[in-house]
Structure 1
Amino acid sequence: MNDHRAVVVGGGLAGVTAALELAGAGLDVTLLEGRPRLGGLAFSFKRGDLTVDNGQHVYMRCCTAYRWFLDRIGGTALAPLQDRLDVPVLDVAHPQGPRLGRLRRAALPVPLHLAGSLARYPHLSLAERAAVGRAALALRRLDPADPALDGVDFATWLGRHGQSARTVEALWDLVGIATLNATAGHCSLGLAAMVFKTGLLSEPGAADIGWARVPLGDLHDTLARKALDAAGVRTAVRTRVTGISRTPDGDWQVGTEGESLTAGTVVLAVPQREAHGLLPHGALDDRDKLLDIGTAPILNVHVVYDRKVLRQPFFAALGSPVQWVFDRTDASGLTDGGQYLALSQSAAQADIDEPVQVLRRKYLPELERLLPAARGAKVRDFFVTRERTATFAPTPGVGRLRPAARTDAPGLYLAGSWTATGWPATMESAVRSGLGAAHAALAVLGRPRENRLQEAA
């Protein structure tokens, strides 16, 4: 038996995490990734002189696993958190003209930390703001792990608790679409409760936002590789796994197009459909359930102007198809006085397959509505990046489809944001899944582990 050897299939955040954790416990680990880089769906690429992230990725202070990951690879200082939650929200469809509001927290205990901001939030009426407070208190009493919540959609629950259509648009979906990649009507109450209860109603600073001030590839590829090398992990990119099978000795044989590896432990850290294709017969009670986990797209619109048109690092929009806008000028390496904005469009089913010219005609006028300074600016470049299967779809009932880390096949484990972490498809969920898979394996092997993060969480 090769109990001292492990193979991790997949070099996204889940796979890198699992490999680091297994290597830290003394295993001989090989990480296999089919792409020419690490990082999964949180990566960067070159476009001329620009370094472009495929999409805008953020995290919150409550994302303790991803924060551990950043610290583990030496990237914490490159993706800092806000001192305090502060989200500018611009409504361009207000009857009295464009109106700017802010969602920010005070240095007060929960739930008073958001009370002042909510009281002044101009995008809701006084009655709607009061109703939000009552719904938040009711939400705080929910247990996100209750299986009954998984079968109810969030919109139904909000309606039962007095939330108007305007309140859903201007508050609940403003946050929920970005974190869950679905509108309230298409989202499990269990996952929504998890996001809002953990992010907004657990600790005063839980929702403080962080994001990379450098290209994502600097973190999830370059620094991750250095950490893997230092841990003694052998990393092979451009290496596609073709099959996984048992050897006569009871080990696992992982076949690739160039070699075959034997190990006592295998972690499959790949998307659910790829995992379905690689899992051997009998590894899960009902392997086909993985195919029932839907996917949801995210579209990112990239615009480079010849001058500065936005003076804040980011903002969210109402009354517009634009959702969130981020200034990526410094991170991209643009230094000639122009400005590079990235529009992050979640739950983008309506736009994901539209031609670039159609999207240009749709989004450039909207940016001019939102940003008066853009009306006289020249557009140097306009392009889009599309992730058609960016996340698993958090639809009601998805919880019963998400598998645990441990399979029915001894020594074979699953990781990925789509597994049963309790979180939606986020970087946090991916890292938690990698830790969960590694810890399940180490428990079976009787190996001690140093990371106690999940127990603390």
Structure 2
Amino acid sequence: MTAAAHRAVVVGGGLAGVTAALELADAGVRVTLLEGRPRLGGLAFSFKRGDLTVDNGQHVYLRCCTAYRWFLDRIDGAALAPLQDRLDVPVLDVGHPRGPRLGRLRRSALPVPLHLAGSLARYPHLSLAERAAVGRAALALRALDPADPALDGLDFATWLGRHGQSPRTVEALWDLVGIATLNATAGQSSLGLAAMVFKTGLLSENGAADIGWARVPLGDLHDALARRALDAAGVRTALRTRVTSVSRAQDGNWQVATESETLDADTVVLAVPQREAHGLLPAGALADPDKLLDIGTAPILNVHVVYDRKVLRRPFFAALGTPVQWVFDRTESSGLADGGQYLALSQSVAHNDIDEPVTVLRRKYLPELERLLPAARGAKVRDFFVTRERTATFAPTPGVGRLRHGACTDTPGLYLAGAWTATGWPATMESAVRSGLSAAHAALAALGRHRAHPLQEAA
């Protein structure tokens, strides 16, 4: 069979599915991408609210996210989501007994681990003894192997306690980063995943933790530019198309049924959340498919506030001593152009707030923003709304590693993709893209197609 005759169906149009479809098409496979929503992008998307273009949530990536950076390059979107020149995170503590204090987590040009030493030495939210203890814990963390299965069964908080980290240190440093990247506190996080985040982001290369984010709506990247790239690659994309079953025909080929047609394929990639994948898996595809149902989920709440004037002069900041976690200025990307300012609060580990009425959340968060931002105290709130992702990520709890499955199933020609699969990363855009690449290259190898892996090329 020639490469041109190979047919693949990718189920799911999030970052994992789009990645798999592009990589398969670039290798000469005829690809059909099926997505039930009216757009691409999965859980990183935009929508209209009046004149505003709103992201459902604030998504960032780091310089070490080589797969997502490849994805941005592949869809010609890298210039629209630039990275900081150097890591610089303002951290405002409004719970300090002497009043609000601003600290910064930023790197220098020195080699690892000295690149963060100066910032840590001046970090005002920890005592001198706590800062010294952080340095010792960081050195111990560098010695861990995140791929060690033994680490998967331990929680990060216990390890931190054994290495001299006080509750305040966990709150003001380790959880400040971990909650945003893992969507879990240290006590709820697998040591293996936490070690992976901190080793890769903070202790691998000098600039690994430099932060990037979209300066345009996410839909411009993950939907519009992605769809253009898929079209150019020859992928047939069908939106508003729900897959009802995936089965193996008597001739060995795959059949993917939708509500309107049945597609034949040599290869199928299920790039959907774990519960949806479980529902579509044919019998015998996995030895223990119910493990997928044991992978928990964690919510993220996003609070959106539009003021009648500028109240924040930084692009973003993190907060301590308040329920507010991270605040981003989304004014320009939303299209707001009348002198007001649009702030987005990203609230991970949002179990307590995810189902609260908007009125309750308004009473909770507007006073907190006034505590953090004095300029907000006299500003008029033009709009206040929330977006809720109840199953935003998989829960990175201890033991989750043994539940995450790799790209290959037990049935030839059927592959899994999604941030929840066994990428070694937590549920991030990076993990999603890595999973799509893994599924595509496993499929190409089975088809006898040999194509250089883009991450190996980058290395």
Does the 8 Å contact 1:7/1:263 carry over to 2?
A: yes
Q: Where do 1:256-275 residues align within 5 Å?
A: 256-275=258-277
Q: Deviations over 1:88-147 (max 9, x none)?
A: 000001111000000000000000000000000000000000000000000000000000
- Alignment partner for residue 338 of structure 1, among 333, 337, 340? 340
- Residue type matched to 1:38 in 2? L
- Residue 455 of structure 1, CA deviation: 7.1
Partner of 1:177: 179
Q: Where do 1:426-441 residues align within 5 Å?
A: 426-441=428-443
Q: Where do 1:408-423 residues align within 5 Å?
A: 408-423=410-425
Q: Where do 1:377-392 residues align within 5 Å?
A: 377-392=379-394
What SS is found at the alignment partner of 1:258? Answer: coil
- Residue 448 of structure 1, CA deviation: 1.9
Does the 8 Å contact 2:70/2:454 carry over to 1?
A: no
Distance 2:328 2:433 in 1: 24
Unaligned runs of 5+ in 2: none
Distance 2:250 2:127 in 1: 69
Does the 8 Å contact 1:323/1:344 carry over to 2?
A: yes
Partner of 2:330: 328
Unaligned runs of 5+ in 1: none
> Any runs of at least 4 consecutive aligned residues in structure 1 with deviations exceeding 6 A, and if so which?
none
Partner of 1:447: 449
Distance 1:119 1:243 in 2: 57
- Alignment partner for residue 83 of structure 2, among 81, 84, 98? 81
What SS is found at the alignment partner of 2:175? Answer: helix
Distance 1:104 1:285 in 2: 46
Distance 1:206 1:339 in 2: 31
Partner of 1:120: 122
Partner of 2:279: 277
Q: Where do 1:61-72 residues align within 5 Å?
A: 61-72=63-74
- Alignment partner for residue 225 of structure 2, among 216, 223, 226? 223
Distance 1:283 1:388 in 2: 28
Q: Percent identity?
A: 88
- Residue type matched to 1:431 in 2? V
- Residue type matched to 1:414 in 2? L
Does the 8 Å contact 1:301/1:382 carry over to 2?
A: yes
- Residue type matched to 2:29 in 1? L
Distance 2:193 2:448 in 1: 33
Q: Where do 1:337-416 residues align within 5 Å?
A: 337-416=339-418
Distance 1:158 1:81 in 2: 30
- Residue 456 of structure 1, CA deviation: 5.6
- Residue type matched to 2:167 in 1? A
Distance 2:365 2:457 in 1: 45
Distance 1:91 1:61 in 2: 27
- Residue 239 of structure 1, CA deviation: 0.2
Does the 8 Å contact 1:432/1:454 carry over to 2?
A: no
TM-align CA RMSD: 0.9
What SS is found at the alignment partner of 1:395? Answer: coil
Distance 2:52 2:445 in 1: 45
Does the 8 Å contact 1:89/1:100 carry over to 2?
A: yes
Does the 8 Å contact 1:14/1:431 carry over to 2?
A: yes
- Residue 454 of structure 1, CA deviation: 4.8
Partner of 1:151: 153
Distance 1:71 1:259 in 2: 34
- Residue 446 of structure 1, CA deviation: 1.0
- Residue type matched to 2:102 in 1? L
Partner of 1:160: 162
